[in-house]
Chain A
């Protein structure tokens, strides 16, 4: 079974530029998550999709970050304009059901490492 795919793996941009990341979850997984992992910290949830609807985006900086999940499969996360503090690894994860009544396992992709200069 293929895992969670992400691209690109690395990206270097200058501040105020825009950038987009792509994620393809495990086939059949209804729920998709985007996390931000700043160096030396644990991942922090940015947004959670259930199929193509948003379940939780309370920690997404909506003035500059946006995400979509068209057709309930793959997803893109965009930053526009980027700031220095956005330098981090952006992890995508997916889970089978996602309605959070149980300790369902989330499966993570390899991440996109973003450096903003």
Chain B
């Protein structure tokens, strides 16, 4: 069985500061990893995903994530936070033949 743990249900940063949202996964087989963002009263939008190949993945809105197999991690980063980044972020894992499993989410607040 696979699972996802997002460390920190709430993260607060200042505008212009580094954003770091942590995600650790558990999977007995090679995973596919995703980050989704959810703005209030909206559905989920894909930020980026890792399937195979390069372990550093770049996504939309300046976000990127690095797949680290040895640490079973897929942390999301952005060098400089913007007010519009305030939202809830979900990490998700999938393996071949399985369903997409989401973490509990991290609410990002950006302070002016």
**Residue from A42, A100, A105, A108 within 8 A of B98 (CB atoms):** A100
Q: Is B104 an interface residue (CB 8 A)?
A: yes
> Taking chain A's interface residues, is the majority helix, strand, or loop, or is none over half, making it mixed?
loop
A contact residues vs B (CB 8 Å cutoff):
4, 40-45, 48, 56, 91, 93, 100-103, 105-111, 113
CB of B18 within 8 A of chain A?
Answer: no
B99→A56 contact, CB < 8 A = yes
- State whether A101 and B32 are in contact (beta carbons under 8 Å apart), knowing that A4-B43, A42-B105, A111-B43 are contacts in the complex: no
Bound: A25/B67 CA distance, A:
30
Q: Which of B9, B41, B43, B49 contacts A91 (CB 8 A)?
A: B43
**CB–CB B42/A42 < 8 A:** no
Number of residue pairs spanning A and B whose beta carbons lie under 8 angstroms apart: 60
User: Which single member of B51, B96, B100, B103 contacts A45 (CB below 8 Å)?
Assistant: B100
Contact (A42, B96) CB under 8 Å given A103-B34, A103-B49, A111-B43: no
User: Could you name 30 residue pairs across A and B whose Cβ atoms are closer than 8 Å?
Assistant: A40-B9, A42-B4, A42-B90, A42-B102, A42-B104, A43-B90, A44-B102, A45-B99, A48-B99, A91-B44, A100-B94, A100-B96, A101-B97, A102-B32, A102-B96, A103-B33, A103-B34, A103-B50, A105-B46, A105-B49, A106-B46, A106-B100, A108-B43, A109-B43, A110-B41, A110-B42, A110-B43, A111-B41, A111-B42, A113-B41
